[in-house]
Amino acid sequence: MTRLGKIGGRVLLVAAALVASTATWAAPDVKDVERVDRSVVRIVVELELLVTGADGRMEAKKGIGTGTGFVINGDGAVVTNRHVVYPDSAPPGGRVDILKNRIWVIEHGAEVELPGDIVQTDKAKDLAVIKVQGLKSPPLKLATAVPEKGRAVHSLGFPGLADAKGFSKESTLSTGIVEKTEQVARAAGGRPLMWLQHSATVRQGNSGGPLFNDCGEVVGVNTMIIGGDIQSGGQGKLHVVDASISVASHAAELAAFLKSIPVPFEAVHGACAAKGGLAAAGLTTANMLIAAAAVLALIVAILNRRQISSAARSVSRVVRRPADEASPGSRPAPPQEPAKARDLVPPSPDADWLVSGSDGQHRPVRFEFSARAADAAGGNMVIGRDVNLCDLVVDSETLSARHLRLIIADGGLQVEDLGSTNGSRAGGRPLPPFAPERLPPGVTLELGDTRLTVTFAR
């Protein structure tokens, strides 16, 4: 290919990228959002547990958790995730007895906490139904048809970061598109379940909230954030969160669950008539003008070879940088090293914090994350053993599914035990559950049999 042909190809590539980046899809109608919002509720759970270890030792634990739910019928039935209302699994060889599991539901714009009772749960689907007396919120309809890839979807919920800023009475709206639908086997030999991967922002506290279409119909139940790039040292795992990738169980799975209880609900089987999303979006005149301006600017740059080279390198960095970083100078994480050499690998220039140590079997554990990545994940990073519920994953049975949270606050870090089964220690001192406190750099964290040290990477 001639030099001019290569340059022309780059021009067209950049122009196409700019057109795509400026393409928009229709926002949900304000009235539809208000209608759905009236049906979304906050769920508060108070737990008292008796944890029995493999050695027979017993320990009482208390904790408070929050999540999101939505009303599904006029009889006071609320849908949420199972993990919102039930604690983590028992330690290896031990068990967990629930001494108290009190549930309250707070309706849209209300301050009164209404008591709720668990009707039924489904562990494989991570779904639960709560019965709430005195509930006045209107029910939502389920859209059981599979939405098209690129169709607009929206999420409402109560993320923990908004709570920290004092916005707990108001739900948070985010908008995205359906990225794909997939059948996923949740257990060995189990029936594959339908999941929706979407780009609407979902953070901790959104669990159990509705994912809805432009018609205000529920297409899924927000369940988890999944990780992107994975680095492994022995059996340890690092999951670098791409917060633009969120997962919801499809409404058809919820419908089947409700029928099996049974709990009445209303379903819509046809596709939403609204035309929001990339599947129906067209380029606007403004998009075309932006693209034309980009082409013109790059054609002018052809007169200067150095400018051409600089532009090409800039585009290359944009295409290759990790999804959780947005600075033009960012670059991919360093390549994997053998386990013995990993601790010798310097932190990535884009990392702000380094978490390193080993588990009970002396396997190396090493995490790097940036303030930008943590902010995209809701202002905190959760460490635990469940790949679906955590940002930083350690493959050890002594860790709870969601064990501990690192919180960015005032330019430093706070640490919070999430009611873990085996507890957490900082500098040898037990951390009380659900009580964030400052974490000085260099202090050793003990999570089950795993020892970790958090230091500044810069």
Domain ranges of the chain: 30-268, 353-456
Per-residue model confidence (pLDDT) at position 72: 98
Confidence of residue 389 (pLDDT cuts 50, 70, 90): confident
Per-residue model confidence (pLDDT) at position 92: 75
Confidence of residue 385 (pLDDT cuts 50, 70, 90): confident
| 67 closest CA partner among 39, 103, 16 | 103
Confidence of residue 258 (pLDDT cuts 50, 70, 90): very high
- Long-range Cβ contacts of 224-232 (<8 Å, 24+ apart): 224/126, 224/388, 224/389, 225/377, 225/391, 226/197, 226/387, 226/388, 227/387, 227/391, 227/393, 228/322, 228/323, 228/324, 229/322, 229/333, 231/333, 231/336, 231/366, 232/336
Tell me which H or E stretch contains 80. Answer: strand 77-80
pLDDT at residue 67 greater than cutoff 50 = yes
Per-residue model confidence (pLDDT) at position 62: 83
Give the tens place of pLDDT for each residue, 16-32. Answer: 444 444 444 455 666 77
Average pLDDT over residues 362-390: 77
The SS3 call for residue 436 is coil
Instruction: Return the higher-pLDDT residue of 255 and 378.
Output: 255
Residues 6 or more apart whose CB falls under 8 angstroms from that of 427 comprise 443, 444
Q: What is the CATH number of domain 353-456?
A: 2.60.200.20
Q: Which amino acid is residue 75, in one-letter code?
A: D
Give the tens place of pLDDT for each residue, 275-329. Answer: 555 555 444 444 545 545 555 554 544 444 333 333 222 222 222 223 333 333 3
Average pLDDT over residues 56-75: 90
Mean confidence (pLDDT) of the chain? 74
Per-residue model confidence (pLDDT) at position 254: 96
The sheet carrying 437-438 orders its strands as 392-393, 380-384, 404-409, 412-417, 437-438
Per-residue model confidence (pLDDT) at position 340: 34
Instruction: Return the higher-pLDDT residue of 392 and 326.
Output: 392
Confidence of residue 88 (pLDDT cuts 50, 70, 90): low
Give the tens place of pLDDT for each residue, 145-202. Answer: 999 999 999 999 987 655 544 445 788 899 999 999 888 765 445 678 889 999 888 8
Residues 6 or more apart whose CB falls under 8 angstroms from that of 186 comprise 124, 125, 192, 193
pLDDT at residue 331 greater than cutoff 90 = no
Burial group, residue 313, by CB count within 10 angstroms (0-12, 13-18, 19+): exposed
Angle (deg, nearest 10), helices 3-22 and 285-301: 150
Instruction: Check: CB of residue 333 under 8 Å from CB of residue 351.
Output: no
| Alpha carbon distance 191, 332 (integer Å) | 37
Asked whether the bond before 262 is cis by omega within 30 degrees of 0, the reply is yes
Residues 6 or more apart whose CB falls under 8 angstroms from that of 399 comprise 383, 384, 385, 420, 422, 447, 448, 450
Question: Which CATH number fits the domain 30-268, given the four candidates 2.40.10.120, 3.20.20.100, 3.40.630.10, 2.40.37.20?
Answer: 2.40.10.120
pTM score of the predicted model: 0.55
